[in-house]
Structure formats: structure tokens, C-alpha cells
Chains A and B, each alone.
Chain A
Amino acid sequence: MERAAPTEDGSSPNPARELDCRGLYCPLPVLRTERALAGLAAGEVLKVVATDPVAELDMAVFSQRSGHELLRLERRGEELVFYLCRAESAATPG
């Protein structure tokens, strides 16, 4: 599958799956994101909606560690919307 690229024109990437992490606190948003990504094919995009402000930093660190690229972060009021691209082979945390 063709790898999703970060959008240059400001439009949101097209997600293969959406994950609702609203109301969940660290570490649950990252944990569920990791699981959801495991179920996707390489290059597919996962959209994650979270409300815990800590998720912004945590998701960036998770992306760096795991290799799943954080394509885009949108802020919609209290909500943080992440678009992550499933890596070819994700690094195993820990």
C-alpha cells in the first residue's frame, strides 16, 4: 500500500480507522493507539481523538520511539486530533 504523506495543503489525511480516546488519561491514549496501529496495514492512517493535554507530548514521544509517523495534529477546542501512519515495521517498545 502506498504510504500516506503529511498533507501540505492543510487537509486532514484520510484515516483507515478512528480511535476515540476522549476522557481517557495517560497512559491509556498511547496504549490504545499502539494496539490500534498493530491492527493496521503499513502505510494506513489512524485518527486518534484525545482530550488529555498530556497526550500531545506523549504521542510525539511514542511516534519517535515506535517509528509510526505523526502526520498531523489538529487542535479543536479541548480535543487533540492525531493522525498517525502505521510504520512498515514498528520498533518494539521496552
Chain B
Amino acid sequence: MANQKEGTEWGVEALHARLETGDEFFVFDVRNEDEFEAWQIEGRRPLPTVNVPYYEMLEVDEFDDVVDSFKAFLGQKWAEKLPRDKAILAVCAKGDTSEFVAEALRRLEFEAFNLAGGTAAWGDHYAIRPVVESEELTILQVSRPARGCLSYVVASGERVVVIDPLRHIDHYLELARERGWKIELVLDTHGHADHISGGPALAAATGAPYHLHPYDGIHPIDVLPARIDYAYLRDGQTFEIGRHRVTAVHVPGHTLGNMAFLLDERYLFTGDSIFIESISRPDLGGHGDTWAPIHFASLRRLLELPDDTLVMPGHFASLAEEGDNGLFAAQLGGLRQRNGGLAMAAGGEEEFVAYILASLPKFPDEYIEIKRVNAGLVEVKEAKASELELGKNICALAQAYGDGESGAN
């Protein structure tokens, strides 16, 4: 099956590779307008993209064949507007309709491909990249590139800790199986708002304890206690992983129970505190004004760490934040200048709070519900979970990307 389609479609790995290199191609997205508005495929640089909902292209009365119908429409309306010097990627929700569209474009002699599996497959794509790989210690960055979510697997010998596991826990279980690892500890930096944590499920599947700061065991809007099984994290708590030590650092601000994890005084898993180009927002619990000063104090605490501390964040907002090594990781020293939010945190508190409150992107309604799911207050099935997680995270301040205004509502 795959061979038959070779040369006419891109899988999500191929898409990811092209987005990372910054190669330009044209995206012809035929999803419904609402779906398109909610999120699009984004690369290292802006991609030329149009949205033409598929139903606008169907001339139902004239053609029996879907491809013929699309071809007639595209030939008439788009043949002069689409590029002939670069690849065109046809995109829909699941990759079915876009297959017809890609075929119609090819019949019009465009270099067109279908995105296999559509935006659904791209949204659920995981990539695994080594940060450190020595006999002694392995650190892997496990990401969902379409959503900008990052998680980490730290292994010493066969002992493994997973930090911020994402929803599809099979990726971690398979990794452990392949490498003969035993997942002994599951840590969440905080109660996530943008995605459903894989933490409780991974803990249940492995027998490893799941840790969360108890402040994040209370839903901030509902003010209800979580109904999940978790062990309380506290500031200064340490965990031994083979010969390595993880220290929990309480950095409230994004949430009240927000944590960072420092490994061997050298590797800092910042969760949602410091990102590469930005810092996290303090308003997703509904108390931005009172949490911003706490956020300030937490960032100041992290800024005291040495310059050569390697920052590994919980999110990215753009593939442009990726380093040449394919990783979202950078030394703290470099970030002091490069990261606008961090530079503000190095200044005065008042200016910082004003800056942060002026840089808040929109607050997606789903985030309140996702926190409920993560606290075990609501149970959802796959389809609903996928719908809640749709699109890219908005956990960072907007200003770093110059779209604070457009994101304001």
C-alpha cells in the first residue's frame, strides 16, 4: 500500500523534516474554515498557505467523480495562482479529501502531495531526540512538534524517570521496552492546561509513583481537589536515579504548584517557567494579576543558577526556537539576553508585572476543561481528548513573537 502511494504523499515524518529545514512549500488546506482558523501547519518560517474548504470545490451536479470535480474547480479558479516552482501539500483533517485534491492538482501538472493522515496525524506525531547519550546518562527530548509540547526521559542504567509525559504513553512504554529500561518515577512539573498529561496513566501502566505539587492538585477555577492518585512534591525534594540526582525546585507563577527539576546541578527541566524565546504566562489559573509577582520571584530564583545550566523547557511556540541540533534546549547564560521575558525578570518587579499583563495571549476556554481532565475531575474518551488538545499550545507570553495584539482576543 505504502509503495503505491510513494511519490504522491508525505507522511508526518517527512512533513516534520521539511518544516525543520525551512524548505519552502505551499500548503493548500481544504479543511472547514473553523478548523483552519483554530490551527495550521507552521514551519520554522511562515509557510505560504491558503484555506479553500473542500465543499467550495465540489460541483455536485456536473461530475460523478470527485477528482474531476476538484480538477474543474482548481483549473478554473486556482491554476494561475498556485506556484509551479515548488511543492504543494494538500491538507485536510484526516487525509482522505486532500488525496483527491492532490490528485486533481497533479492532473493540472502541479507538483502536489497529500499529507497522509491529515492534520490529525500531524497533531499526534511524536519525535524523540537525544540531548545527552552517554553510558552513564541518557536524556531524551520527546516532543509533539505540531503542538509544541516537550517531555523528557532521563535514564541511568536501566532506571528511568519520565518528566511531563504526554498523552500517548505508548511512546514511553515502547522506548523503555526497546532499551530494557524500567520507568521508576513519573514527574509532572505542574497541572497542565494545554494538553492532557500522560502522567497518571503512565504511572498506572508501570507501577511507578506519579508526583505532582499538591497546590496543583486543586483545580484553580473550580477550587476542587483532584481525584487522581499522586504523591506530593515539595521544594528541595530529591530523587536518586542511579548515580544521578534530581532536585525539585518550586517555581510558582504559571501555576501555584509549578515545579522545575534540576538534574546533577546542571540540567534544568523548566516545565512552564522559562522557555527558549519566552516565559510562561501566569494567568491560566484565572489570577494573572496576583500570580505575576510570584512568577517574578520564581524566575529570579532560577536566574541565580550558573550560565552553563542547560534549560530544557516544556514547550516551544515556534519551530524557529529549535537549535541546529534539532533540540529545544539552550544554556541559561545565552537565554538571559535572548529571552525577552527573562530579560524583563532581571529588571524591576513592577515593570515585569506590567509587561507580563500586557503580553497575555487569548485564554482558550478548553484550558479550564483540560485542567479538570488532568485533575481527574472529568473523564474523556479519545475523540474528546483529541478535540480538547487541538492546535498549538498557548502557554507562553505572546510578545516575544510580536503577535500580542492579534492574540489579545
- A15 CB-CB contact with B under 8 Å: no
Do A34 and B60 have beta carbons less than 8 Å apart?
yes
Binary flags per residue of B51-79, CB closer than 8 Å to A gives 1, else 0: 00111111110000010000001000000
Shortest distance from the beta carbon of B229 to any chain A beta carbon, whole Å: 31
- A5 CB-CB contact with B under 8 Å: no
Do B94 and A93 have beta carbons less than 8 Å apart?
no
Shortest distance from the beta carbon of A26 to any chain B beta carbon, whole Å: 5
- B383 CB-CB contact with A under 8 Å: yes
Contacts of A52 in B (CB 8 A): 94, 96
- A35 CB-CB contact with B under 8 Å: yes
**Count of interface residues, chain A, beta-carbon cutoff 8 Å:** 19
- B112 CB-CB contact with A under 8 Å: no
Nearest-neighbor residue (CB-CB) of A25 within chain B: B96
Do A62 and B383 have beta carbons less than 8 Å apart?
no
**Count of interface residues, chain B, beta-carbon cutoff 8 Å:** 20
Do A27 and B55 have beta carbons less than 8 Å apart?
yes
- Selecting from A6-14, A43-51, A53-61, the interface stretch reads A53-61
- B162 CB-CB contact with A under 8 Å: no
Nearest-neighbor residue (CB-CB) of B73 within chain A: A94
Among B35, B60, B94, which residue has its beta carbon within 8 angstroms of that of A31?
B60
Binary flags per residue of B76-111, CB closer than 8 Å to A gives 1, else 0: 000000000000000011101100100000000000
With A61-B32, A61-B55, A93-B56 in contact, is A54–B66 under 8 Å at CB?
no
Nearest-neighbor residue (CB-CB) of B53 within chain A: A61
Shortest distance from the beta carbon of B293 to any chain A beta carbon, whole Å: 43
- A65 CB-CB contact with B under 8 Å: yes
Do B32 and A57 have beta carbons less than 8 Å apart?
yes
A contact set with B: CB distance below 8 Å: 25-28, 30-31, 34-35, 38, 52-54, 57-58, 61-62, 65, 93-94
15 A-B Cβ contacts within 8 A? A25-B96, A26-B93, A27-B96, A27-B100, A31-B58, A31-B60, A34-B58, A38-B60, A54-B94, A58-B32, A61-B55, A93-B55, A94-B56, A94-B59, A94-B73
